[in-house]
Structure 1
Amino acid sequence: MPNTAHDLPSSVVDDPRADHRPRAIAVMGPTASGKTDFAADWAQRLGTDVISVDSALVYRRLDIGSAKPDAATLARAPHRLIDLREPHEPYSAADFARDALREMQDLAAQGRIPLLVGGTGLYFKALLEGLSDLPESDPGMREALQRELEERGLPALHAELQRVDPVAGARIQPGDTQRTLRSLEVFRLSGVPISEWQARSRGPRAPFPFRVLKLVLAPPDRAVLHERIARRFHAMLSAGFLDEVRALKADPRLHADLPSMRAVGYRQAWQHLDGATDAATFVEQGIAATRHLAKRQLTWLRGEHDALWFDPSASRGGLDRMVRGFLGSRA
């Protein structure tokens, strides 16, 4: 069961005198749960920056559909690790872990509290727990695989993955272009299946260099979250989301199978603009896909046993007290 404000994990109640690591705060939660507003308030109060933990916000020109913070929010709470890449450029969880730790150390060196905010579980895991030491991506190999994808098709490449790595082939869905290509790339570069790389023990990992308070913002009533998701999706459409995707489609470097274009909302908008769905179906599919994303995020968050859960609308006072208690005189 998730921790509540009265059920504190050891990471919070341990005697701070026994842990001299600098402190950081991680604000987690499903999409549309109110993370950005809460984090912006505390970033302004602490005089610090937000470190975005969101796999869509790293891309330039993905603004409306990714719910990227607007200019007013960025003015009072500067965000790091947004707008890092063009939509056709790769950016991995390992890239994020390296970049986020660098930003955390930079803030700590200035005497400021790193404030990690987002809903991409893989990014949080890569940063706080580490990932397998997989071979680094090779641009030449990626280009070759992309050509094969266009010539042979994804089903043939997935069938090849099933032959060379049955474990990964069974785990990775046939329609998952990104993971299929990455798994084949690892095998071709190293001769070792990606499943074997992932199973190898890395030995004891050094403690993470920060003492992190994990806060999960999530309405206990799923219907409340669903209503927030629907309202935000309609607001995105009113703000020009489809025009944003039209402009992206006009870029010859982009296609529907890129990780950026497979982000929730963007995939459905691309298909709609290709004529695959009518307007009503597009809206229905976009909202349903966002709800499914929130469900996956909540499933991952329930495995974070040292995180504290709060209802963002009913427990703001408790959230603020928790942060102040964790930071002590710093708050």
Structure 2
Amino acid sequence: MNKILISVVGPTAIGKTKLAILLAQHYNTEIISADSRQFFKEMNIGTAVPSLEELSQAKHHFIQHKSISEQYTVGDFEREAIDKLSHLFKTHDVVIMVGGSGLYVNAVTDGLNDFPNIDPSIREDLNKELAEKGIEALQVKLKQLDPVYFEKVDIQNPQRVIRALEVTIGSGSTYSSFLNKPKPEREFKVVSIGLKADRPIIYERINQRVDLMMDAGLLQEVEGLADFKDLNALQTVGYKELFKYFSGEWTLEFAISEIKKNTRRFAKRQLTWFLRNKNTKWIDFDYEPTTLLSKIDNEIVNLKHG
């Protein structure tokens, strides 16, 4: 238990990648990404994948290692990430994890609950229903079948809603009934570092990032993925809005404004999720690096001897 996983969390556009690289260089170690939007090789600009320069500054894992056409669940990620950590901890005392996907972060730090295997055809049927009737129909179904989880889940996230429904339908038990089972013990300790800023600053950083994404060619990236717009991986901010532009439903100006609005809402939900962890040490986004590294060094020493 002398191995340490430093988990860097916080809302989108706050500077998590920069901090993760600083920590990786300080501890001469590697980075695991827990950002579910960055897993897919076809999605680059709209998911804010680290630049080639950033990737060259520290070794990253779980960046663009899957295709949008592949089924890749949080359970798959948990298994692969724990396996990778076991390997990395053979040669490193400290490993960095960074990402804004709270469920994926928790899967690594705390473990997931043990869900049963479900017939894949159920997910296929639910995806078809999503495409034909929209997310609202699935929300109504989830509220009827599992009202407890309906109150907890981000009901605007189709992947979360579909996952809950497929488990509930396929197992005959509610998704929420699987959530309180004992979780596996981890063979490492976790230092959780959260980046924060006043809400106007976060929102301004988000607006600037979206503008930079558009300048970098997001419109062309999304246009090239139009044939795959119904895939789960593409039901995400930055892509679904521009698909509506290409279908003629929205103007480009309105689509961009919706990306900014929906990203701000996403950031708010991220903060709500991460604030649940009372062990997270929150620091200002404009931290002084030397002072911060000293504090984390001390935190690790205390954790190892605590």
> TM-score by structure 1 length?
0.82
Deviations 1:194-221 (A, max 9, x none): 23333xx424x454221111111112x2
Q: Distance in 1 between matches of 2:133 and 2:19?
A: 48
Counterpart for residue 259 of structure 1: 232
| 1:35 and 2:16 correspond | yes
The 3 A distance-change label for structure 1 pair 180 and 300 is closer
| 1:289 and 2:262 correspond | yes
Shift of 1:232: 1.0
| 1:218 and 2:196 correspond | yes
Counterpart for residue 209 of structure 1: 187
The 3 A distance-change label for structure 1 pair 229 and 155 is closer
Deviations 1:86-128 (A, max 9, x none): 1132222222221221121111112352100111111112222
* Residue pair 2:46, 2:239 contacting (<8 A) in 1 also: yes
Aligned residues: 302
Q: Distance in 2 between matches of 1:185 and 1:116?
A: 29
Q: What is the SS of the residue equivalent to 2:245? A: helix
| 1:120 and 2:94 correspond | no
Question: What amino acid maps onto 2:207 in structure 1?
Answer: A
| 1:80 and 2:54 correspond | no
Q: Distance in 1 between matches of 2:225 and 2:137?
A: 28
Counterpart for residue 16 of structure 1: none
Question: What amino acid maps onto 2:12 in structure 1?
Answer: T
Superposition map of 1:18-167 within 5 A = 20-147=1-128, 159-167=140-148
* Residue pair 1:245, 1:270 contacting (<8 A) in 2 also: yes
Counterpart for residue 247 of structure 2: 274
**Structure 2: runs of 5+ lacking an equivalent:** 302-306
Counterpart for residue 207 of structure 2: 230
Q: Distance in 2 between matches of 1:127 and 1:318?
A: 28
The 3 A distance-change label for structure 1 pair 168 and 45 is closer
* Residue pair 1:47, 1:112 contacting (<8 A) in 2 also: no
Question: What amino acid maps onto 1:194 in structure 2?
Answer: Y
The 3 A distance-change label for structure 1 pair 169 and 113 is closer
Q: Distance in 2 between matches of 1:295 and 1:148?
A: 28
**Structure 1: runs of 5+ lacking an equivalent:** 1-19
Shift of 1:177: 3.7
Instruction: State the identity as a percent.
Output: 33
Question: What amino acid maps onto 2:211 in structure 1?
Answer: H
For the aligned residues, what is the CA RMSD? 2.6
Shift of 1:264: 1.7
Question: What amino acid maps onto 1:202 in structure 2?
Answer: K
Computing the radius of gyration from Cα coordinates, the structure with the larger value is 1
> TM-score by structure 2 length?
0.88
The 3 A distance-change label for structure 1 pair 249 and 168 is same
Moved more, 184-193 or 35-44: 184-193
The one of 173, 189, 192 equivalent to 2:173 is 192
The 3 A distance-change label for structure 1 pair 112 and 272 is farther
Q: Distance in 1 between matches of 2:152 and 2:123?
A: 21
Question: What amino acid maps onto 1:269 in structure 2?
Answer: L
Moved more, 67-76 or 308-317: 308-317
* Residue pair 2:244, 2:250 contacting (<8 A) in 1 also: yes
Question: What amino acid maps onto 2:216 in structure 1?
Answer: A
Counterpart for residue 226 of structure 2: 249
Q: Distance in 2 between matches of 1:298 and 1:233?
A: 19
